[in-house]
Every structure is written in C-alpha cells, then in structure tokens.
Amino acid sequence: MSEDDKERTVELHYEGGVLKLPVFTGTEGERTIELKTLLGSTGMTTLDPGFGNTASCSSKITYIDGAAGILRYRGYPIEDLAVGATFLEVAYLVIYGELPESGQLKEFSDKLRENADIPADMGTLIDAMPRNGHPMSLLASAVNTLAAYYDDSVDPSDENQVELATIRLLAKLPTIAARIYRNSIGEKPIAPDDSLDYVENFIRMTFGDNAPTGNLGDLFNKAVGMLLVLHADHELNCSTATVRVVGSSQADIFASVASGVNALSGPSHGGANQAVLEMLEGIRDSGTSIEDFLERVKAREVRLMGFGHRVYKNFDPRSKEIKVLASQILDHDDNPDELFKLALKLEAAALADSYFTERKLYPNVDFYTGVIYRTMGFPNNMFTVLFALGRLPGWIAHYREQLHDPAFRIARPRQHYIGSAERRYPGQG
Ligand code: ACO
C-alpha cells in the first residue's frame, strides 16, 4: 500500500457509528475497499454471493478489464502473446513473472522434456481406471496421486520442492492426458519423445501415427499452442480461486491443482467447451431452427453455452482470436465445417437480439474452441482436458504467488445464517 493509498478512505455509516475504510488503487487505477476491520469494528460481515464484488487477494499475474475487453498476462496484451509467443514462453512468463531469455527458455524446456515420463506404476494405475469415465475425472484423480508418487516435492514451505513440483506438473500433465485419451479408444500409450517440442509431443502422444504431418501438422501444432496460450491464466476464475483456497490450507500443489481440475470440469466453467459442441450438434441433429433455439434460451429452458461471462461485459478478447483461428482452419470455400457455420449463424443471431445485448452476453473463450478441437480429431469429452493443460501455468502461478503474499491467511469465508434459531432435541429440555 502506498502512502497515497493510505490517505484514501470511504466512510461506512452504520447504527453504531462511522467506520473509515482504506481504499487501495491498483496498477490500472481500479479501486478496492479494504474490509479487514469491518467485522471487528461493527460486528457485521458482507454478503456477496459468487464473490462478484470481492477481491480475495492482491495479484501481479493477470489484468482484465471486462468492460473494455482487455486481458494481459504480466502486462503483455493477450493479442501479442497469442500471435507472437509459444506456450512455453507464456507458461514461463505467467509463473516466473518475466519472459524467458533464450538460455532460460532452453533450460526450462529441457527440464520439462527430462521429466515428461510418468512412473510405470502410475501408468498401470491410470490404465486401471474406467476407460469410459470422463477424462476430467480421471485427470483430477491422476494429478492427485502425483503427490503420492513424488512426496519429495509436496512441502509448500520449501521453495525447491515447489519448483520441482512445478516442473513435474507441467512436464507430466500432457503425458497423463494423452494416456487417458488412448485408453479411452483402446490404444496403447505412446511414450514422450524428447526430440519434439511441448505441443508437438502432446499431439504425437495423443494421436500417434494418425497425427497430421506436413503443413496440416504445422497448422495444428500452431493452433493448439495458441489455444493453450489463450487459456494460460484468467485471474481469479472459479478453478484458480479453488486452487488458491485449497492451497491456503497449506495443502500441496498437486492436491491444489487437482482441485482446480475438478472445478474446471463444470459446464459453467471449462466444461462449457464440451457443452457448446453438444449444443451445436443438438441443434443440427434435431433440425431446430436457430430462431426457435434462441426462443428456448430466452424462455430459460436452456442456456446459450459459450455465451456470457462474469467479468467480460463486452467481447472476450480470447474469443476474437479463437474465431480468427477457427476460420483459418474450418472456413474452406469448398467445404466449410458445418458446425462452424452453425456457430457463426448462432452468434450473429444472438448478437442481433436485445435479450443478449441488454444483458451484455457475448461469445466467451469456449464458443469456438470445441469446433476447432473436433476438427483435429479430439472427442468432445477431451476439450476440457485441453483447457486444463492450458490453464495449468495459471494455477501454478497463483499457488506460488499466494505462498509469498504477506497478507496470506487461510481462506475462510463467513456466512449469513438464516436457519433455525436454537431449539432442543426432544426430551432434552
Ligand atoms: N444464456 C442465456 N442467458 C444467460 C447466459 C447464457 N449463456 N448467461 C447469462 N445469462 C443471463 C442470466 O439468465 C441473467 O439474466 P436475468 O438478469 O434476466 O436473470 C443475466 O444473463 C446475468 O447472468 P448471470 O447468471 O447473473 O451471470 P453470471 O456472471 O453469474 O454467470 C456464466 C456467468 C456462468 C459464464 C453464465 O454467463 C453462463 O452460464 N454462461 C454459459 C456457460 C459458459 O459459457 N461458461 C463458460 C464461461 S467462460 C469460462 O469459464 C472459461
């Protein structure tokens, strides 16, 4: 807090008096009232369902201006990173705070290659999991067990252990995700290949000899890399907030990230990319018109998946980049992808309808990702796993940042109790 900040206050007038509360100003001028003294001074708490108005920490990682459609990692605009940076550069930036110099990037990338294998026992464990189970459920379970396989990197108070766990998570998640996918199609796992880069290796471990080669292969590598970059962090979203909450109890980073995977799986969060594709397929297969579908949305029978966002009340800047990518991959004059065409029409119809514009509902990051992943050959239930691979640097960065936050306390919200007043168990009074 700067001296300047200390002088800024707001006054809360309540029955018992007036409480002065400090106001902090963030890098971009956004202002936050600190409520630390509220309960002690007034006996009152605040009620903020969904934490829509609550900053639970100070953070230096990601800046979002939802009204202006701005997203920056460590100050760098997402538009620059999406076209100019590799996923590993962005992962390094998000976690360590600065873009890597070439030597640092090589060292980082070498460490990830060296650690990409998983223990044979862990492979057997993953192979024994239900093959038809949802990959997000299997991924969360597998990430949780990393703490058991690597109990030399579970101590949050030891920086070297946290660093080792960081490398292990980043290195092994693609290997685990690809193995889960191959099990689901009854194919043998493919070991990591340390001659390939991070994204290429993941695609190779997933599709093996069916991975596209030549120009198409290059295009797919670039597209997956860009999608991972676009997902790398998004400040205190549901899964990242979950990672912080779990980590605040001093739980290890594997347990915290596994919790993030679980939070991401829900259709209101990362699971929306799967839900969007199922919605598009449903519209196509049922023969419903777009107009009729939107009427059902407005009647609140269904949600328009991939639309709306807690923070963006204007275009999600990620969705703009993804739409461009989708049209590069799917919009061939001779044979445009039918679900992409449908998505374009659905978007246009929703944006021409006052129900959506009045509520500031625009396409979010998930609206076009599914159609891209589908055309690459990923099944619908793997889309959210790809999101998790992208979001991993963000989860790690927030976990680590929290460990060094001087204001850090265990996350323990209050409640507004509206249940029964005291009553006695029969026969006890
Ligand atoms: N379709 C139809 N109506 C919607 C939608 C939608 N997708 N999203 C919000 N609304 C409506 C609400 O019904 C509400 O209307 P009302 O004021 O008349 O009651 C209004 O818009 C405000 O919506 P809230 O639910 O208050 O918005 P909130 O910020 O709580 O929810 C969320 C955000 C969960 C993303 C929501 O927009 C949604 O469910 N979208 C669809 C799922 C989705 O795409 N999720 C991915 C989000 S991005 C991410 O997590 C990676």
The catalytically annotated residue of 231, 309, 316, 337 is 309
Is the Cβ–Cβ distance between 81 and 226 less than 8 Å?
no
Structure confidence at residue 404 (pLDDT): 96
pLDDT of residue 215: 87
Say how many C-beta atoms besides its own lie within 10 A of residue 409's C-beta.
9
Q: Which amino acid type is present at position 364?
A: N
Active site residue 309: yes
pLDDT along the chain (429 residues), means of 10: 66 96 95 96 97 96 95 97 97 98 98 98 97 97 98 98 98 98 97 96 96 89 95 98 98 98 96 93 95 97 95 89 87 78 94 96 92 91 97 98 95 97 94
Q: Tokens in use for 368?
A: 């076009």
CA of 232 to the centre of ligand 1 (A): 22
At 7 the pLDDT is 65
The reported pLDDT for the residue numbered 329 is 85
H-only helix segments in 315-382: 317-330, 338-351, 354-358, 369-376
CA distance 375 to 387: 16
Determine the 3-state secondary structure of 169 from DSSP: helix
| Ligand 1 atom with the shortest distance to the CA of 359 | 21
Residue 276 alpha carbon, nearest atom of ligand 1: 44
Ligand 1 and 296: CB distance under 6 A = no
Tokens of 371: 């159609």
Strands (E), 26-173: 31-33, 62-65, 70-73, 76-77
What confidence score (pLDDT) does residue 429 get? 79
CB of 394 closer than 6 A to ligand 1? no
265 to 41, 107, 212, 310, 429: CA distances (angstroms): 40, 32, 28, 17, 48
Mutating to test ligand 1, I would choose from 51, 78, 236, 359 the residue with most ligand atoms within 8 A of its C-beta, which is 359
Separation between Cα atoms, residue 117 and residue 276, nearest integer Å:
33
Q: Strands, E, within 178-219: which ranges? A: none
Nearest CA to ligand 1 atom 31: 310
Strands 70-73 and 62-65: antiparallel
What pLDDT shows up at residue 331?
76
Side-chain half-sphere exposure of 407, counting CA atoms within 13 A: 9
- The helix or strand, by DSSP H or E, that contains position 282, with its residue range, turns out to be helix 272-286
How many angstroms is it from 323 CA to the middle of ligand 1?
20
